Amino acid sequence: MSLREIRGNEAILQRMKEAARTQVVSHAYILEGDESVDKLGLAREFVKAILCLDRERDGSGCDRCLSCQKIDHDNHEDVVYVKADGASIKDEAVEEIQHRLANRPNAGNRNVVIIQQADTMTLRAQNRLLKTLEEPAPGTVILLLSENAEHLAQTVRSRCILYRLHSAEAQLDESVQEAAAQVGGQWLNQEPFYAMVKSMESVLSDKAAAFQFLDALELWLRDCMVSLYDQSGALCVDRSWPQSAQQRRDIARRCGKEAIYRAIEGVEEARQDLQRNINTAYALKGMLLK
Name the band, by pLDDT with cuts 50, 70 and 90, for residue 241: confident
* Mean pLDDT, the chain, whole residue set: 88
Do 102 and 10 share a structural domain? Answer: yes
Distance, in Å, from the CA atom of 83 to the CA atom of 68, rounded to the nearest integer, reads 22
Please state which of the ranges 51-60, 81-90, 122-131, 227-236 shows the lowest mean pLDDT.
227-236
Q: What is the pTM of this model?
A: 0.63
Question: Which is it for the CA torsion 149, 151, 154, 156, positive or negative?
Answer: negative
Answer whether residue 169 is part of any domain. Answer: no
Are 37 and 116 in contact, with CB atoms under 8 Å apart?
no
Domain end residue (candidates: 164, 199, 214): 164
How many folded domains does the chain comprise?
2
Residue pLDDT, tens place only, 206-231: 888 898 899 889 889 988 888 877 65
Do 281 and 223 share a structural domain? Answer: yes
H/E stretch holding 31 reads strand 28-32
Do 193 and 81 share a structural domain? Answer: no
Report the percent of the chain where pLDDT is more than 90.
Answer: 60
Do 75 and 200 share a structural domain? Answer: no
**CATH number of the structural domain spanning residue 196:** 1.20.272
Do 262 and 235 share a structural domain? Answer: yes
Residue 137 pLDDT > 70: yes
H/E stretch holding 161 reads strand 161-164
Q: Does residue 267 or residue 230 have the better pLDDT?
A: 267
Do 123 and 255 share a structural domain? Answer: no
Domain end residue (candidates: 164, 186, 204): 164
Please state which of the ranges 161-165, 217-221, 240-244, 264-268 shows the lowest mean pLDDT.
240-244
Do 112 and 87 share a structural domain? Answer: yes
Range of the domain at 186: 174-288
At 207 the three-state DSSP class reads: helix
Do 149 and 228 share a structural domain? Answer: no
Query: Measured between alpha carbons, how far is residue 243 from residues 119, 193, 238, 277 in Å?
Result: 40, 20, 11, 32
At 79 the three-state DSSP class reads: strand
In order, the DSSP letters of 115-133 are ETTGGGB-HHHHHHHHHHH
Do 190 and 160 share a structural domain? Answer: no
- pLDDT the model gives residue 172: 61
Do 34 and 150 share a structural domain? Answer: yes
Do 185 and 144 share a structural domain? Answer: no
- pLDDT the model gives residue 240: 67
Residue pLDDT, tens place only, 156-174: 999 999 998 877 545 567 7
